[in-house]
Structure 1
Amino acid sequence: MCRPVPCRTCGKTTWAGCGQHVDQVKAAVPAGQWCPGHPAEPRPPRSWPWRKRGA
């Protein structure tokens, strides 16, 4: 089940959950309070300490 949550970037409302009930969440939130979405910030490559480099 989906539920409203605050966006970590802008603080407006977005959703969390399975994705099948997003329309129900959006119906309960005024359009001006809905997060428009944001471009994903690039993440640094992960370091795997247990793997040897060059192996």
Structure 2
Amino acid sequence: MCRQVTCPRCDKASWAGCGQHVSQVLAGVPKNQRCRCTAQEKAAWKKEHSFFRRLFGGGRKTTG
């Protein structure tokens, strides 16, 4: 079963689940308020903003 979620990249309505119930899940959401991010954009955002990346500084080198 699918459920409505908020896209972490654009903060618009999206869905999670099997994909067979998307039209039902987003039925009450106007099309201009729905996420239009691609799967690749979402994956890149999640990788960039992962818990461990934030915790350990994202691999940034420190000078000193």
| Shorter-chain TM-score range | 0.5 to 0.7
Match of 1:12 in 2: 12
- Unpaired runs of 5+ in structure 1? 44-55
The count of corresponding residues between Structure 1 and Structure 2 is 42
* Moved beyond 6 Å, runs of 4+: none
Identity of aligned residues (%): 52
Matched, 1:36 2:36: yes
TM normalised by structure 2 equals: 0.56
Q: Secondary structure at the match of 1:5?
A: strand
More helix as a share of residues: 2
How far, CA to CA, are the matches of 2:5 and 2:28 in structure 1?
12
Deviations 1:1-55 (A, max 9, x none): 11110001010010001111001112121112100123623x6xxxxxxxxxxxx
TM normalised by structure 1 equals: 0.63
- Which of structures 1 and 2 has the bigger CA Rg? 1
Cα RMSD, aligned residues only: 1.6
Match of 1:2 in 2: 2
